[in-house]
């Protein structure tokens, strides 16, 4: 995803979220390591408790970016069930401030067993240990539910279906100054909790380590890529499926100029379209990246899909037409700027209901291009 800068705060019904404007403090895209090499002992990576095992490897041919990723798999050794438990200090420790950790995860459809995304506020070989994040991915249930300390939970925990055979984002927005963290899976909130006691009953307001843990020796392979720690709590606006497929102008349509300004919960802007062609915005609770081929474009949102059309209800008609500059001009008075669309809190049906704080919704423009149709890139918005 590509993070967009924030402009103005959301309407009063939605809590504002602070954004990062600085570069990454830590980044590892696995591209500097030899394909087939053990990750332990390279870069920031080591075995749990300082072991010297070589079960997790850098792999080629499957990646979120570049050409390489990290393969985490059970040891297949009944005498060494924890030998493929792999740790990174993420360039830390981090003892104050606001930080966003993110990475991409790929779980194959044939995956078996349970694997964990774990983060610790205290970690050293042979201890002490204190867990802030413990998220199991269980093949038998096919859902994600974070492990939590009930005393720490502020919102959630939520259960979300596992997305198989696609790269999805794992994200932790951590405010060490206020000892609060929010965890997200594929843009959806898993839990908001007190960081220092998120899982363990005691701990500190620090970020010490990431732990990728196959729960036993028989766990199937899961892949990871694009590890980052960035200052700030991230932006609520993230582009995905970016860039979109090119249209007859030779360029893709992008929602990159969208913002949190205006009377709605978010203002969508579409640029790069073919002259005099029409488009509508669609919305979904799920994203699909890199998308499903449809006509000349890629549909990057999943069912049920809401359409902002003339039949959606008052204030929900987003139909527009591209002008000579490639900007989508609103035709039904549902934009405060005359271009794009001011998204209201009310959702079209399906999916119906309203947009609430803490939710993530995904938007895309569907537009005509001569006899064919095409799609913009997608925009994920965390409210």
Distances (CA, A) of 40 to 74, 120, 211, 299: 14, 18, 12, 39
The pTM score is 0.63
pLDDT digits (tens, 9 = 90+) for 174-226: 999 999 999 988 877 899 999 999 999 999 999 999 999 998 888 999 999 99
How buried is 218 (Cβ within 10 angstroms: 0-12 exposed, 13-18 middle, 19+ buried)? middle
Instruction: Please report the domains of the chain, with CATH numbers, ordered by start residue.
Output: 18-234 (2.60.120.200), 238-382 (no CATH)
User: Pick from 83, 109, 86: which is nearest to 218 by CA?
Assistant: 83
DSSP track, 226-261: EEEEEESS--SEEEES-SPPP-TTSS--B-TT-BS-
| CA 16-17-22 angle, 5° bins | 140
Residue 329 token pair: 């001009």
Separation between Cα atoms, residue 101 and residue 247, nearest integer Å: 35
pLDDT digits (tens, 9 = 90+) for 320-356: 999 999 999 999 999 999 999 999 999 999 999 999 8
Element (H, E) at 291: strand 287-294
Residue 244 token pair: 């979109």
| Averaged pLDDT for residues 297-318 | 96
Residue 301 token pair: 């949102």
């Amino acid at each position: 995803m590509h993070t967009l800068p924030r402009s103005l705060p959301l309407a009063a019904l939605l809590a504002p979220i602070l954004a990062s404007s600085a570069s990454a403090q830590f980044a590892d895209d696995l591209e500097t390591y030899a394909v087939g090499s053990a990750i332990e002992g390279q870069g920031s990576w080591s075995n749990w408790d300082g072991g010297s095992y070589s079960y997790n490897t850098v792999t080629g041919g499957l990646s979120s970016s570049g050409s390489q990723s990290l393969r985490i798999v059970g040891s297949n050794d009944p005498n060494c069930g924890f030998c493929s438990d792999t740790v990174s200090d993420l360039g830390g420790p981090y003892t104050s401030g606001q930080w966003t950790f993110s990475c991409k995860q790929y779980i194959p459809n044939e995956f078996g067993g349970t694997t964990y995304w774990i983060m610790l506020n205290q970690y050293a070989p042979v201890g002490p240990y204190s867990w802030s994040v413990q998220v199991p991915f269980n093949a038998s249930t096919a859902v994600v539910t974070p492990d939590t300390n009930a005393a720490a939970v502020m919102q959630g925990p939520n259960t979300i279906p596992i997305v198989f055979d696609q790269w999805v984002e794992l994200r932790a927005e951590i405010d060490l100054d206020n000892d609060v963290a929010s965890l997200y899976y594929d843009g959806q909130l898993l839990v908001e909790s007190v960081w220092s006691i998120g899982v363990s009953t005691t701990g500190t307001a620090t970020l010490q380590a990431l732990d990728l843990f196959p729960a036993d020796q028989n766990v199937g392979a899961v892949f990871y890529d694009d590890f980052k720690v960035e200052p700030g709590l991230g932006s609520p606006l993230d582009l995905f499926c970016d860039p979109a497929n090119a249209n007859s102008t030779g360029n893709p349509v992008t929602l990159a100029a969208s913002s949190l300004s205006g009377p709605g919960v978010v203002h969508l802007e579409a640029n790069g379209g073919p002259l005099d062609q029409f488009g509508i915005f669609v919305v979904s609770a799920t994203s699909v990246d890199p998308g499903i081929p449809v006509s000349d474009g890629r549909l990057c949102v999943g069912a049920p899909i809401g359409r902002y059309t003339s039949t959606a209800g008052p204030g929900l008609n987003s139909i527009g037409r591209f002008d000579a500059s490639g900007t989508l001009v609103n035709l039904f008075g549902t934009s405060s700027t005359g271009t794009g669309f001011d998204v209201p809190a009310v959702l079209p049906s399906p999916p119906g209901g309203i947009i609430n704080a803490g939710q993530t919704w995904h938007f895309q423009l569907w537009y005509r291009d001569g006899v064919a149709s095409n799609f913009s890139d997608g925009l994920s918005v965390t409210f």
